[in-house]
């Protein structure tokens, strides 16, 4: 493997992390008013200040469901190469199961204002993250991110 081909996955991973960090931020760190019923609080320190907040239980329920999507990787030109399929299940409490394995969720944050992809709910889980939109986005589906299992495999085109 040459130096260029090793840098591409690292570069894409760093780009995904920067996009995730740029997408939100806020000052409310307690999910659903702190009643302890959700899988995780919102770690607003990972986002742009004032852009995200902890979802209420009702807001979170709107994103719950099963998302069937594709796994794979992007090449240097941005073309996606599918290597398989995967199932992401989001519980009404914000719990996540990915490829039939329960994942530990460390943060759940919601955009304060809808952007070009709608209002996005962000999950940090295991070694990866998932972004789930309130509408289907062309080329991404409704759920996308990086596998919490290995932190490198891309999940995309997730549709309920």
Per-residue pLDDT band at 37 (split at 50, 70, 90): low
14-20 long-range contacts, CB within 8 A, separation 24+: 16/129, 16/145, 16/146, 20/46, 20/122, 20/129, 20/131
The answer to whether residue 134 scores a pLDDT higher than 90 is: yes
pTM of the model: 0.75
The pLDDT tens digits for 64-123 are 999 999 999 999 999 999 999 999 999 999 999 999 999 999 999 999 999 999 999 999
Task: Note the pLDDT of residue 46.
Answer: 86
């Amino acid at each position: 493997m040459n130096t260029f081909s090793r840098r591409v996955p690292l570069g894409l991973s760093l780009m995904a992390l920067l996009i995730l960090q740029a997408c939100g931020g806020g000052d409310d760190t307690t999910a659903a008013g702190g009643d302890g019923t959700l899988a995780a609080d919102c770690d607003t320190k990972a986002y742009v200040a004032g852009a995200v907040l902890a979802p209420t239980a009702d807001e979170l329920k709107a994103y719950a469901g099963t998302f069937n999507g594709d796994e794979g990787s992007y090449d240097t030109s941005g073309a996606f190469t599918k290597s398989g399929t995967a199932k992401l299940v989001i519980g009404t409490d914000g719990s996540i199961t990915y490829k039939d394995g329960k994942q530990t969720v460390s943060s759940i944050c919601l955009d304060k204002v809808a952007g070009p992809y709608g209002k996005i709910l962000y999950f940090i889980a295991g070694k990866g993250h998932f972004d789930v939109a309130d509408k289907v986005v062309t080329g991404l589906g409704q759920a996308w991110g990086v596998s919490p299992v290995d932190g490198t495999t891309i999940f995309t085109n997730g549709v309920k």
